[in-house]
Structure 1
Amino acid sequence: MIRPALVALALLSAAPAAAQESFSYTEIAAPRQTGAIVLPTVPAGTPDREQWMVQNGLIGVRNVTVPTLTPVLPAGPSTGAAVIVAPGGAFLGLAIDHEGWQVARWLANHGIAAFVLKYRVIPTPADNDQFRRENDAMRNGGTASFAPPADTPPAALADGLAAIRHVREHATEYGIDPQRVGFMGFSAGGFLSRSVVEHGGADAPNFVAPIYPSMAPMQVPANAPPMFVAIAADDFLLAMHPDMPLLRDYRAAGAPIEFHLLANGGHGFGLAFGTEGKASEDWIETLYRWMGVIGVLDARP
């Protein structure tokens, strides 16, 4: 089941839609992003070309050219843990509301410092009518001037690693332990979560949680951190790699992994979007328990 929260979520599927689909949204001005920090992966003065939208009450953004990191910190007691949250959107846009801000607020309400990553994405037509036409064509098996990449683009990877470095370098300011910095992402953000482990080196996170990511093979480094994966059995991404080589490779490398194959929930369920009565409804509670099991929620001096 393809969720309609942001057009790009649907574009990860290589197969045309079963029925003719049309994407519509309402353009909006950029919302306030209190405390957003511009990451140093673009030169100062880089033009900000991002375009914001609302669909089904959820906010998304495309044409991000200036990456930012927005802290969402606990108002009460802190565990000392931190998580960078990367929304999905096929690297063509970001479902920044239900896969970013909502998740960050949940984490902060549970004592975890959260940081929403607005990373750079592949350009799409600035003209909204052209974007709609081309996107509708792509969703229905046609062609467009843009397409989702097969894996994490270099710009997005650079932004993800810069976010990790920033959080660690400012750990005292944020009241967190620099050795308990995690990275989680949804869909394309899940691809990015894999990539910051695969290519992060010393900047790799201390734990990672790709949610409905690509289950394709992975080059797992020797120092790979604990990983939590959740994906629904009816997710089209799972159909692309039904043997789930990601799990095989992580296990073969001797790296710790916890995996949840949810009975249903489709793709793009985020924190709570359309999950009532589905197996994906409370997945984040399971993630929270896992964080406790691996010790990143233990308060430390």
Structure 2
Amino acid sequence: MIRAVAASLALVLACPAFAQALPEFRFSDAAPADYPGVIRLGTGPGQPSEEWFRQDGALQVRNVAEATLTPFLPRPQSATGAAVIVAPGGGFLGLAIEDEGFRVARWLADHGIAAFVLKYRVLPTPADPLTFRRELVAVRTGKGPASFRPPADTPAEALADGQAALRHVLTHAADYGIDPARTGMMGFSAGAFLALSVTAADAPDARPAFVAPIYGRQAPSPVPAKAPPMFALIAADDPLFGREGFALVEGWRKAGAPVEFHLLQNGGHGFGLGRAGTSSADWIYSFHRWLDVNGMLHRKP
């Protein structure tokens, strides 16, 4: 089922209706993000063709071949002990690492939650920037040939990176001042695929305490035996997943696992922390309240 849903993502990306909802594709070159304390997870060989760029002003990165974590830690006096690994989206062709990574992590850290932005491996795209940008527009509009397409499932490399990130944070919980039992994973779009895949894999040393798929697939997803609490959110007018139904949420409910679901009236897809003038604005406060209700923000000795 995951394969079928991801395949539908590739098809929807090429449809005219989705093309009309896309930005104007204004590209520009950009320097790599420079945040202190970046952690190399040791997955992938790394390669010099990694490219950082801006699309419509927002920083993105592609051709990631070595996974890293960028920590955003709260001030000690406001730290709650909770932690979230944040996985940006991008169709596994790149990462919207600013809007769906760094900005989200800063908000969480400002509210007492340790956050770690995961730069996970994605599928290779043409090394030449002009070729990549032309073909990316072709993929998203369905106009013109392209040498790449979104994958039909969470790539094995991305899944391995998600698990490696969780293992690292859990292993070094004392160093970060966090509670392993209150460490979860949040993902946006393709990052939501990844977060659910990590949860479904149910590795003994890489189990998130909670999972938050944000505007990800709504089709059925495997539910682990001891499913963690889930916070799911999507806009009704999301052109990718807004009309898939609610099987994801129903699966968690049938398993008896805690779940909170927000169907926003509007906001489209890819709104990050929220799109002004839509009901997606300030949704992150609902997530914060949900964490609190589930005991994730309660300080412990």
**Post-superposition offset of 1:34:** 1.5
Superposition map of 1:1-12 within 5 A: none
TM-score (ref. length: structure 1): 0.91
- Equivalences for 1:154-173 in 2 at 5 Å? 154-173=156-175
Query: Separation in 2 of the partners of 1:116 and 1:139?
Result: 25
- Measured after TM superposition, the shift of residue 244 of structure 1 is 2.0
Scaled by the length of structure 2, the TM-score of the pair is: 0.91
Match of 2:110 in 1: 109
Runs (4+) of structure 1 exceeding 4 A deviation are: 18-22
Query: Equivalents in 2 of 1:223, 1:300: separation in Å?
Result: 23
Contact 2:65 2:121 in 1 (8 A): yes
Q: CA deviation at 1:249?
A: 1.3
The partner residue of 2:227 within 219, 224, 229 is: 224
Shift of 1:209: 0.5
Question: 1:14, CA displacement in angstroms?
Answer: 4.0
Conserved in 2, the CA contact under 8 Å of 1:52 and 1:61?
yes
Equivalent position SS for 1:260: strand
Percent identical residues: 58
Q: Within 5 A, what are the aligned runs for 1:79-158?
A: 79-142=80-143, 143-158=145-160
- The residue number in structure 2 matching 1:28 is 30
Task: Report the Cα distance in structure 1 between the residues aligned to 2:62 and 2:12, rounded to whole angstroms.
Answer: 19
RMSD, aligned CA: 1.8
Say yes or no: does 1:57 pair with 2:49: no
Q: Which residue of 2 aligns with 1:271?
A: 273
How far did 1:73 drift? 0.2
- In 2, the alpha carbon distance for the partners of 1:166 and 1:289 equals 27
1:3 corresponds to: none
CA contact (8 A) 2:25 2:56 kept: no
The answer (yes or no) to whether the contact 2:126–2:132 under 8 Å persists in 1 is yes
Distance in 2 (alpha carbons) for counterparts of 1:11 and 1:32:
32
Secondary structure of the residue aligned to 1:157 is helix
Are the aligned partners of 2:202 and 2:224 in contact in 1 as well (CA < 8 Å)? no
Q: Does 1:285 align with 2:285?
A: yes
SS in 2 for 1:238: coil
Residues 13 and 139, structure 2, Cα contact 8 Å, conserved in 1: no
Alignment partners' CA distance in 1, 2:297 and 2:41: 27
Inter-CA distance 114–239: structure 2 relative to 1 (3 Å threshold): closer
Whichever residue aligns with residue 13 of structure 1, its letter is: V
Per-residue deviation at 1:161?
0.6
Please tell me the residue identity of whatever aligns with 1:93. Answer: G
Selected match of 2:182 from 171, 180, 183: 180
